[in-house]
Amino acid sequence: MISRDDFVFCVGYNGDTAIIDGKAKKEFSGLSTMELAEKGLYRAAFASALYSKNPEEMKAFIDFFNKKAGTNYTEASQLSRLFSVYLETISKAKAL
């Protein structure tokens, strides 16, 4: 599995390689899920919560996102579809 930061800033895949937004990773690497959300980086924040596999962290993000977006999501799977973010078994990453 790729690192948390690589997963959070992944913009897509080329075969078995995750393509990483190197600029965003450099600028925002190490921020917590909620710090990313507070900066308006909702896709990255969702990816962070998903990667953590922590139900409390995911709930906190969903609650925050619903309040900001005026939505009523209740499950991570709904946001996976919204943001097109899914946990994948990828071991290679390439930053662009």
**Phi and psi (nearest 5°) for 46?**
-65, -45
9-65 pLDDT, tens per residue? 999 999 999 999 999 999 999 999 999 999 999 999 999 999 999 999 999 999 999
* Tokens at 62, concatenated: 């969903």
For the chain, how many structural domains are there in total? 1
Provide the domain limits for residue 52: 4-95
Burial class (CB within 10 angstroms; exposed 0-12, middle 13-18, buried 19+) of 74: exposed
Q: Which pTM value belongs to this model? A: 0.93
